Structure 1
Amino acid sequence: MGRREQIVESILLVVAESGLKGLTHRAVDKHAGLAEGSTANLFPRRDDLIRAIMRRLEARDVASFADADASLVSTPADLASLLAHGLERMLDPDGAALTRVRFTMMLAYPQETAAFHARLLHVLEKVMMRAGLDHDVEERARALAASFDGFLVHALTVDPRPVDTKAAARSFRTLLSD
């Protein structure tokens, strides 16, 4: 991992551990084990740190969706299973911290995350059409995304038990049904 990647990973972990209030160049340097000022050399302003988080989260989400073989989705049931598996991955010990960072960024920077969210919805719409859903696709995609986010928020804040992925898949199938 190069220095830039090391710093971006440290930025994410600082926000995961301390929230946006704890995000400082000094905190990132310390977390990365670098000399003070190292982060500022690559990311001079706090806004640069924020943009780095946004880019990394989007890249991870795109890679995660690709890794999950969204291209193999051919039925609504396949899509429901894929989404349920995505919940499981985003709530596993490694994923939960990043999921918290995602929500932190969505709440703190709604305008900046809106374009990213729109791109994700567009991909979801394409997968839905490939799965044979050809009406109300935009509306259904928004409902699926809202349900998906609701499962995540509930699991992170209210109920620490593992998400029942079978129940989640049933919920997603209901949203996908005619």
Structure 2
Amino acid sequence: MTGRPARVALLADAAIDLLAEGGMRALTHRAVDTRAGVPLGTTSAYLRTRQALIEAVVRRLADLDRADMADRALLTDQPPPGPPPRLAPADLDRLAAGSAEVLDRWLTTGRHRTLARYACLLEAVHRPELRRILEHGTVLREQARALLAAAGAPDPRRQGDQFVACIDGLLFDRLVGAGALSAPVPGSPESREDLRSAVRTLLRAFTGA
């Protein structure tokens, strides 16, 4: 990545750190300049308005999340034509293990990204013009629907949406909810195993496999 895309990614990464540490109140163009180590005025030159800055953050979060999922073969940008192959219980076991690794990553090395995403989502509740922030979850829901259809779920569209909501709730609980106090330490083998078990339980409930 070079040129303007690289510079915008640098600024977005700095903004993500600010959001994670101080919430929306910490996010200013000047603060992003300082955190990114660029001359004052750089962020305003690339991302003139606050909305443009937030949208750049969201695009960056979506790109990084998709890269994490693709790394664990949890996301396919262009699925092959035709109906997906039928998934066996062993396939779902592998999916649960891969999902646990991604979730654990979002609780550790990707923790700032997760906190920043929640900050953006809360901002969108009060600012309707930022509702597109929610759109990056559409791909995840479509993938979940296809996955559950391939696993034999009776209502994959509805259950796919429910599966994504459950996963997001699991992540939220481990990051800022009561689970943060009682769950295994993120980054540990115990954490990944506990997350794997939770995801596999969800898949079993939705598919019966």
TM-score over 0.5 for the pair:
yes
- Conserved in 1, the CA contact under 8 Å of 2:154 and 2:207? no
Report Cα offsets for 1:69-92 as digits up to 9, x if no partner.
126x94333332332222112112
2:30 to 23, 26, 35: 26
Query: Aligned pair 1:136/2:152, yes or no?
Result: no
In the alignment, structure 2 segments of 5+ residues that lack a partner are: 77-85, 126-130
Distance 1:79 1:136, change over 3 A: farther
CA contact (8 A) 1:58 1:116 kept: yes
Q: Give structure 1 stretches of 5+ with no counterpart.
A: none
Query: Does 1:61 find its partner at 2:65?
Result: yes
Equivalent AA in structure 1 for residue 101 of structure 2: H
Farther off after superposition, 23-32 or 154-163 = 154-163
Instruction: Report the counterpart of residue 100 of structure 1 in structure 2.
Output: 115
| Native 8 Å contact 1:83 1:148 kept in 2 | no
Query: Which of the numbers 126, 133, 138 marks the counterpart of 1:113?
Result: 133
1:109 match: secondary structure? helix
How far is the alpha carbon of 1:122 from its aligned partner? 0.6
Q: Which moved more, 1:160-169 or 1:61-70?
A: 160-169
Is the CA contact 1:15–1:23 (under 8 Å) kept in the aligned structure 2? yes
| Equivalent position of 1:85 in the other structure | 101
- Summarize deviations over 1:78-135 as a string: whole Å, max 9, x none: 332332222112112x2111111111112221522332222220122223334x3352
Equivalent residue letter for 1:103: Y
Aligned length: 176
For the pair 1:13 / 2:17, whether they are aligned, the reply is: yes
- What is the alpha-carbon root mean square deviation over aligned residues? 2.2
Say if 1:144 and 1:175, in contact at 8 Å, map to a contact too. Answer: no
Q: 2 CA distance for matches of 1:28 and 1:38?
A: 9
* Structure 2 counterpart of 1:12, one-letter code: I
Q: Secondary structure at the match of 1:86?
A: helix
Q: Name the structure 2 match of 1:47.
A: 51
Take 1:128 and 1:76, find their aligned partners in 2: how far apart are those partners? 10
Give me the TM-score of the superposition, normalised by structure 1: 0.87
Q: What does residue 198 of structure 2 align with? A: 168
- Structure 1 residue aligned with 2:8: 4
Hey, what's the Cα distance between the residues in 1 that align with 2:137 and 2:162? 13
Aligned residue for 1:37? 41
Write the letter of the residue equivalent to 2:201: S
SS in 2 for 1:135: coil
